[in-house]
Each structure stands twice: as structure tokens, then as C-alpha cells.
Amino acid sequence: MKFKAQDKQNQLIENITVYHLVIGVDIAQEAHVARAVSFRGIALGTPLEFGNHREGFDLFERWIQDLLKSYKLSSIIVGMEPSGHY
């Protein structure tokens, strides 16, 4: 029996728990935007715009840590859009 791609995707989704902070990042050349949601897709906090430099990524990391603490979460999943030129 062949293993279907949908089965693999379902397994990955089932691993997401109530303790996960899920972050989506819209990447750009100079400024990125991140948004955080719960495992159910409920928006958490406010979106963050951060620059494509060390200070921007430090800000991104602090933002994540603040959200983890505020919502009493312990795991993180970060996803970024696939884009050919980045």
C-alpha cells in the first residue's frame, strides 16, 4: 500500500497541540511581517513588522518569547511562504 501525501500532512497536523504557537511570516526583501495564531487558528497578539537585519530578527525573537509567556505556550511552529527569489 502506498503512503499518500495527504496521510503525511494529516500526521503533521495531528502533532500540533494546545501548547503550540503557530507563526506565519510573509517575507520580503527589506521588511517581513509575522502573525501568530493558536493551534486552532485564533489570532494571538498583534502582527509584527520587522526588518531584514540583526536587530529585526532580535525583535522577532523577543516578540515570540513574549507571546509564549503571555499565552502560557511551550512550542513554536514557524512557517514562511515559499518564494522563488528568496
Domain assignment present for residue 68? The answer is yes
User: pLDDT tens for residues 17-47?
Assistant: 999 999 999 998 889 999 999 999 999 999 9
User: pLDDT tens for residues 40-50?
Assistant: 999 999 999 99
Domains in the chain: how many in total?
A: 1
The DSSP string of 33-50 is EEEEE-TT--EEEEEEEE
Domain assignment present for residue 3? The answer is no
Grid cell 527569489 is found at 85
Q: Maximum CA pair distance of the chain?
A: 50
- Calpha distance 9→16 (Å, rounded): 11
pLDDT value at position 15?
87
Q: What is the mean pLDDT of residues 40-66?
A: 97
Domain assignment present for residue 8? The answer is no
Domain assignment present for residue 52? The answer is yes
Cell of 9: 500532512
Domain assignment present for residue 46? The answer is yes
pLDDT value at position 84?
60
Q: What is the pLDDT of the chain when averaged over all its residues? A: 91
Domain assignment present for residue 7? The answer is no
Domain assignment present for residue 72? The answer is yes
Q: Report percent pLDDT > 70 for the chain.
A: 91
Domain assignment present for residue 30? The answer is yes
Grid cell 525583535 is found at 59
- Calpha distance 77→20 (Å, rounded): 7
41 backbone φψ class: left, alpha, beta (φ>0; ψ -120 to 50): left
List the domain range (segments joined by +) for residue 26: 18-80
- Residue 2 scores a pLDDT above 80: no
Q: What is the CATH number of the domain that holds 60?
A: 3.30.420.40
